[in-house]
């Protein structure tokens, strides 16, 4: 892997009267429940180590209280850690002064918020231009840039409106345009789509993927929704009680969950929509003679089933850039739709 | 003897009691009514029902050296008189601009002829409220006051309110902002504000009379400001504290400086609350300006006072209604401005 854009090293965050004192217990191996029970301190994050590659979407997923919103706020130091380091572009931002930090926030990182957090007294155009206005740019400069990004996210002509005149989905588009106007490499998205209706949410996810193909930013995306996480993630980090339970390529986590918590999580999802041909296929360079056709390695099983018309006798050739990389019998496809045996013994069954 | 003799006897203080007080027999303190009754000879039988509370006066009965309660008030008075000179030496020059502002505003409001003043006020109302109806009401009200020859008094009152409310905002908004930034300052200020708001308005006047000459405008100016500044401080503090946490977080996340955050986010978003505070401040200065006429504040309050003193029912009632009219004008104008601010930043 290339040098990570953002690298989180041994990050701890403890809330309470004496975080430093409680830190020693956490480092000695105490977990969230025990720390709260015995020392009355809330463990926010415990020994987090994550590398985020440039140009990738890293999704941090977990239920509420798992520490994911706390974690993302450490990346631009809206929250300071109790212990640990955050490296951005090879610099440890924990050593930054307030002025340096402001520069990072203006130039390197932008943020999109769950509840949009637009300035209600400013127009949509002024809101989208916030990063440049904050940086002291002239109106002529920011007006052009902000208009460009508003147009790009599908808000042509909405500039003079006020945020309250727009729907939730449109307000979040303004939020995204605002993040893009800063021209930062890194975009932090804190449950950016969680407050939106399901249909609009899908729209916004598509918009983000489309923008990402074009702009190749380093995106850190927080969500509690596994479907969303699987759709967006290049790298998936699953948090539970302030600790990383598993991280890696989403397809890999899906077929090799290493924790009952994750098994539970993934037992609910629509596997046909998230599993991809390359995950299920048998690797081989030789095309089978009786192949009924070819599918791209990134096609979802849903696509494959649709292509086969529901016929389970067929076998497909899986291709990457036109080259055959494996075979995919439909029987394997159908088998892959059944959750792994492990999930039968998952936590939820037990309780 | 008195009811509480035993306290001093058991504490062994009898000697102290008699030592200083005994010489002039019965204490140096002035006689109370009860003492007089006792001297008259027919001291009533004390039953358990008549047991007095062990107050300073009751204890003084038992022990002449114990101070009477009137010593307390007199001590306070003496203390105040002792520091008075030093205090006014500091406060006098500090508050001098207030006197100038008030006397200049008074002469300005009275020297501008009515045919400029009334249209000008109506225009101001139109600009801040954007309402022709309100403007017509204001112009009509002033015309009515002028028609019954109360125009000059109304202008005096208005001038005082303008100056005092302006100074209240000038001082109150920064204090409110400072309070919103520091929990400690807030904890310290709230009891002071509570006291300023609940202290009967007349009570402000007493120490001020000692400190400043009654002929100076700043005397009533300070009284009005102290009384009326509270709501604008409170509501500025509250308004800034109520600004959406997410928006503040966004401001931080985009690298705003403290100053950018204050002027670009916090004050604009707190503006509806601050304006509500300004409205309350204006209303309270109007209430105080009437009471301040006791210490030579000119205006409609003087007429109210005349109504009470000379039992001139008509004068009192009409000037009272004039004050109501002014209150309605000021309230409606500031509320209309407030409504416009609110409409501009609905969530």
pLDDT tens per residue across span B285-339:
999 988 999 888 999 999 999 999 999 999 999 999 999 999 999 999 999 988 8
Over residues A151-199, the pLDDT tens digits come to 999 899 899 999 999 998 899 999 999 999 999 999 999 999 998 888 8
Alpha carbon distances (Å) from B287 to B44, B295, B320: 49, 14, 11
- Residues in B touching A134 (Cβ below 8 Å): 254-256, 260
- Contacts of residue A119 in chain B, CB cutoff 8 Å? 247, 250, 264-265, 268-269
Domain boundaries, chain B: 5-67, 80-344
Angle at which helix B132-147 crosses helix B313-344, to 10 degrees, equals 160
pLDDT in tens, A231-255: 899 999 999 988 999 999 988 888 8
Q: What's the ipTM?
A: 0.83
| Helices and strands, number each (H, E), in chain B | 16, 0
The one-character DSSP state at B213 is -
Chain B residues close to A162, C-beta within 8 Å: 344-346
Distance CA B224, CA B317 (A): 23
Mean pLDDT within B275-280: 93
Which residues lie closer than 8 Å to A100 by C-beta, 6 or more apart? Answer: none
Tokens of B83: 């520091």
Q: What pLDDT is attached to residue A339? A: 73
User: Would you call A5 an interface residue with chain B, using a CB distance cutoff of 8 Å?
Assistant: no
Give yes or no for residue A331 having a pLDDT over 50. Answer: yes
Which chain B residues are Cβ-neighbours of A129 within 8 angstroms?
A: none
Confidence of residue B240 (pLDDT cuts 50, 70, 90): very high
Q: Is A271-336 the same fold as A54-78+102-266? A: no
DSSP category for residue A288: P
In the Cβ-directed half-sphere of B140, how many Cα atoms lie within 13 Å? 7
- pTM given for the model: 0.82
Neighbours of B250 (CB within 10 A): 25
| Angle formed at CA B176 by CA B170 and CA B178, multiple of 5 degrees | 105
Query: Which of B243, B246, B250, B264 should be substituted to probe chain A, the one whose Cβ sees the most A Cβ atoms within 10 Å?
Result: B250
Handedness of CA B8, B13, B18, B21 (dihedral sign): negative
Q: Which of B246, B255, B269 is opposite residue A134, by nearest beta carbon?
A: B255
Nearest to A125 by CA among A84, A161, A81: A161
CB contact under 8 A, A78 and B244: no
* CB spacing of B247 vs A130 below 8 angstroms: no
pLDDT of residue A95: 92
Output b/e per residue, A257-276; b: 16+ Cβ within 10 A.
bebbbbbbbbbebebbebbb
The full DSSP string for A72-113 is HHHHTTSS--SEEEEEETTEEGGG--HHHHHHHHHHTEEEE-
pLDDT band at residue B26 using 50, 70 and 90 as cut-offs = very low
Q: Is B188 exposed, middle or buried (0-12, 13-18, 19+ CB in 10 A)?
A: exposed
Q: Which residues contact A304 (CB under 8 A, 6 or more apart)?
A: A277, A295, A316, A328, A330, A333
pLDDT band at B192; cut points 50, 70, 90 = very high
Least confident of A283-287, B237-241, B256-260, B291-295: A283-287
pLDDT recorded at residue B45: 64
Residue B36 has pLDDT above 70, yes or no: no
CA A187 to chain centre: 10
Percentage of residues in chain B having pLDDT higher than 90:
59
Question: What are the chain B neighbours of A131 within 8 Å (beta carbons)?
Answer: 254-255
**The sheet that has A235-240: what strands, in order across it?**
A109-112, A186-190, A218-223, A57-61, A235-240, A243-248
Pick the CATH number of A271-336 from 3.30.70.270, 3.40.720.10, 3.90.1280.20, 3.30.360.10: 3.90.1280.20
The CA distance from B276 to B10, in Å, is: 61
Quick one: what percent of chain A has pLDDT higher than 70? Answer: 96
Q: Which range has the worst mean pLDDT, A248-257, A283-292, B31-40, B318-327?
A: B31-40
* Mean pLDDT computed over every residue of chain A: 87
| B320, two tokens | 């009272």
Position B44 scores a pLDDT of 59
For the record, the structure tokens of A141 come out as 């400069």
How far apart, in whole angstroms, are the C-alpha atoms of residue A119 and residue A75?
A: 23
**Residues A64, A100: contact at Cβ < 8 Å?**
no
Which one of A103, A114, A120 has the shortest CB-CB distance to B347? A120
CATH superfamily of B80-344: MetI-like (1.10.3720.10)
Tell me whether residue A58 is exposed, middle or buried, using C-beta atoms within 10 angstroms of its C-beta: 0 to 12, 13 to 18, 19 or more.
Answer: buried
Report pLDDT for B49: 82
Confidence (pLDDT) at B204: 81
Q: What is the CATH number of domain A54-78+102-266?
A: 3.40.50.300
What is the pLDDT, as a whole number, of residue B257? Answer: 93
Q: Is the pLDDT of residue B4 over 90?
A: no
Residue B123 has pLDDT above 90, yes or no: yes
d(CA A293, CA A307): 9
> Angle of helix B313-344 relative to helix B114-129, nearest 10 degrees?
40
Q: How far apart are CA B191 and CA B97, in angstroms?
A: 28
Going from the C-alpha of B321 to that of each of A262, B125, B265, the distances in angstroms are: 75, 21, 42
C-alpha gyration radius of chain A: 23
What's the pLDDT tens digit per position in B45-100?
Answer: 667 887 888 888 888 888 888 888 888 999 999 998 899 888 888 988 899 999 99
Distance CA A120, CA B250 (A): 12
* Residue B181 confidence (pLDDT) above 60: yes
Interface mutation vs chain A, best among B255, B266, B342, most A CBs within 10 Å: B255
Residues pairing with A6 in the sheet: A52, A88
Work out the mean pLDDT of chain B and round it to a whole number.
88
Segment holding A337, helix H or strand E: none
Q: Contacts of residue A104 in chain B, CB cutoff 8 Å?
A: 255
State whether B254 and A78 contact (CB < 8 Å): no
Residue A141 above 80 pLDDT?
Answer: yes
Instruction: Tell me what percent of the residues of chain B surpass a pLDDT of 70.
Output: 90
Closest-CA distance, B54 to chain A, in angstroms, reads: 48
A145 falls in which pLDDT band (50, 70, 90)? very high
How sure is the predictor about A351, in pLDDT bands with cuts at 50, 70 and 90? very low
What is the dihedral sign for C-alpha B58, B63, B66, B70?
Answer: positive
The DSSP bridge partners found for residue A12 are A83
Verify whether the Cβ–Cβ distance A117 to B255 is below 8 Å: no
Domain ranges of chain A: 54-78+102-266, 271-336
């Amino acid at each position: 892997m290339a040098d990570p854009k953002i690298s989180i090293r041994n990050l701890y965050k403890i809330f309470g009267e004496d975080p430093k004192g409680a830190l020693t217990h956490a480092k000695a191996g105490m977990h969230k429940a025990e720390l709260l029970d015995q020392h009355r301190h809330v463990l926010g994050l415990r020994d987090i180590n994550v590398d985020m590659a440039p140009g990738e979407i890293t999704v941090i997923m977990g239920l509420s209280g798992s520490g994911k919103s706390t974690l993302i706020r450490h990346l631009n130091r809206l929250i300071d850690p109790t212990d640990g380091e955050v490296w951005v572009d090879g610099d440890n931002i924990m050593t930054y002064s307030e002025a340096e930090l402001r520069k990072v926030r203006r130039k390197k990182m932008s943020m999109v918020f769950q509840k949009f957090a637009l300035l209600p007294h400013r127009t949509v155009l002024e809101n989208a231009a916030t990063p440049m206005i904050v940086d002291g740019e002239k109106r002529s400069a920011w007006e052009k840039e902000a208009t460009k990004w508003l147009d790009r996210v599908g808000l042509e002509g909405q500039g003079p409106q006020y945020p309250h005149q727009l729907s939730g989905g449109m307000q979040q588009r303004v939020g995204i345009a605002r993040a893009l106007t800063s021209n930062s490499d890194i975009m932090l998205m804190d449950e950016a789509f969680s407050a939106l209706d399901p249909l609009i949410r899908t729209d916004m996810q598509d918009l983000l993927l489309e923008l990402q193909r074009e702009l190749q930013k380093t995106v850190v995306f927080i969500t509690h929704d596994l479907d969303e996480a699987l759709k967006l993630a290049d790298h998936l980090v699953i948090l539970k009680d302030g600790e990383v339970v598993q991280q890696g390529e989403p397809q890999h986590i899906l077929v090799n969950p290493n924790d009952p918590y994750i098994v539970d999580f993934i037992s609910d999802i629509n596997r046909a929509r998230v599993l991809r041909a390359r995950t299920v296929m048998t690797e081989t360079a030789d095309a089978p003679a009786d192949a009924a056709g070819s599918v791209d390695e990134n096609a979802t099983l849903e696509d494959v089933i649709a292509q086969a018309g529901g016929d389970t006798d067929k076998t497909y050739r899986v291709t990457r850039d036109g080259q055959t990389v494996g075979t995919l019998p439909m029987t394997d496809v159908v088998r892959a739709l059944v959750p792994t045996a492990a999930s039968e013994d998952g936590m939820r069954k037990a309780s | 003897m008195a009811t509480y003799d035993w306290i001093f006897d058991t504490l062994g203080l009898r000697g102290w009691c008699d030592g200083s007080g005994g010489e002039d027999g019965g204490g140096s303190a002035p006689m109370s009514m009860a003492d007089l009754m006792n001297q008259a000879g027919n001291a009533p039988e004390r039953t358990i029902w008549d047991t007095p509370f062990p107050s300073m006066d009751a204890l003084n009965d038992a022990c002449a050296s114990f101070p009477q309660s009137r010593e307390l008030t007199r001590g306070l008075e003496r203390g105040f008189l002792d520091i008075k000179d030093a205090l006014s030496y500091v406060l006098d020059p500090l508050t001098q601009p207030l006197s100038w502002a008030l006397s200049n505003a008074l002469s300005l409001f009275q020297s501008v002829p009515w045919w400029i003043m009334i249209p000008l006020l109506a225009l101001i109302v139109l600009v801040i409220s954007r309402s022709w109806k309100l403007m017509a009401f204001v112009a009509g009200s002033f015309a009515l006051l002028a028609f019954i020859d109360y125009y000059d008094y109304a202008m005096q009152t208005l001038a005082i309110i303008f100056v005092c409310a302006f100074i209240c905002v000038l001082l109150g908004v920064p204090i409110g902002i400072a309070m919103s930034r520091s929990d400690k300052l807030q904890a310290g200020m709230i009891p002071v504000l509570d006291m300023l708001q609940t202290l009967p308005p007349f009570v402000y006047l007493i120490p001020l009379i000692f400190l400043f000459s009654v002929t100076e405008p700043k005397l009533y100016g300070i009284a009005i400001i102290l009384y009326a500044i509270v709501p604008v401080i409170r509501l500025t503090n509250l308004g800034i504290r109520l600004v959406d946490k997410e928006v503040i977080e966004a401001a931080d996340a985009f690298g705003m400086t403290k100053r950018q955050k204050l002027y670009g986010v916090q004050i604009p978003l707190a503006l509806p609350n601050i304006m509500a505070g300004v409205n309350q401040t204006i209303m309270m200065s109007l209430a105080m300006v009437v009471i301040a006429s006791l210490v030579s504040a000119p205006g409609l309050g003087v007429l109210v006072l005349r109504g009470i003193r000379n039992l001139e029912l008509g004068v009192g009632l009409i000037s009272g209604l004039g004050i109501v009219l002014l209150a309605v004008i000021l309230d409606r104008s500031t509320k209309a401005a407030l409504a416009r601010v609110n409409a501009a930043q609905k969530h």
